[in-house]
């Protein structure tokens, strides 16, 4: 998702710098690309997407969701998008669903699509391991 996030402007989408956004939450304003607080934001984004959200998905969410692994992952990705738009974005001053952005409809659509793709790919890749983890932690 991070790669898609930074390539999206090449397709006409607004520039969405998640590392700068997360780095700004530490009270130093929007950090410049590749500076310390930008890297803090990037590490935070990476840890959330690869470790924390994966563990939550495999241990708690996977068993509740119906369908194929890619669909379960997509639902999870869209849940994360809604959570981001209703909690993180207001904390950064962007408002709920980016209502304070220059082009809020474009921001919302891009975020929705990126999280749907992230979730589908994540679900397809993580599905077998999530099934195994769910069986171990929730034996029948």
pLDDT reported for residue 24: 87
Mean pLDDT over 98-123 rounds to 86
Residue ranges of domains in the chain: 2-8+15-137
Asked if 29 contacts 84 with a C-beta cutoff of 8 angstroms, the reply is no
Q: How is residue 106 written in tokens? A: 């474009």
| Residue tagged 């999280």 (tokens) | 115
45 has a pLDDT exceeding 70: yes
8-state DSSP, 53: H
Tens digits of per-residue pLDDT, 55-104?
A: 999 888 988 999 999 999 999 999 999 998 999 888 877 778 878 777 77
Alpha-carbon distance 64 to 56, whole Å? 12
Asked if 31 contacts 41 with a C-beta cutoff of 8 angstroms, the reply is yes
Pick the most confident of 6-10, 48-52, 78-82, 131-135: 78-82
Helix, strand, coil shares of the chain, percent, nearest 5, are: 75, 0, 25
Identify which has the larger pLDDT, 19 or 76: 76
Mean pLDDT over 5-32 rounds to 81
> Where does the pLDDT of residue 43 fall: very low under 50, low under 70, confident under 90, or very high at 90 and above?
very high
107 has a pLDDT exceeding 90: no
pLDDT reported for residue 136: 67
Q: How is residue 122 written in tokens? A: 């994540």
């Amino acid at each position: 998702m991070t790669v898609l996030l930074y390539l999206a402007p090449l397709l006409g989408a607004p520039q969405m710098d998640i590392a700068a956004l997360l780095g700004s939450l530490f009270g130093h304003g929007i950090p410049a690309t590749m500076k310390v607080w930008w890297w803090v934001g990037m590490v935070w984004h990476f840890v959330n997407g690869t470790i924390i959200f994966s563990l939550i998905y495999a241990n708690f969410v996977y068993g509740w969701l119906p369908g194929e692994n890619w669909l379960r992952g997509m639902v999870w990705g869209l849940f994360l998008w809604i959570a981001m738009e209703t909690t993180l974005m207001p904390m950064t001053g962007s408002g709920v669903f980016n209502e304070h952005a220059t082009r809020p409809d474009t921001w919302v659509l891009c975020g929705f699509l990126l999280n749907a793709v992230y979730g589908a790919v994540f679900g397809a890749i993580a599905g077998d391991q999530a099934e195994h983890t769910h069986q171990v932690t929730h034996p029948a």
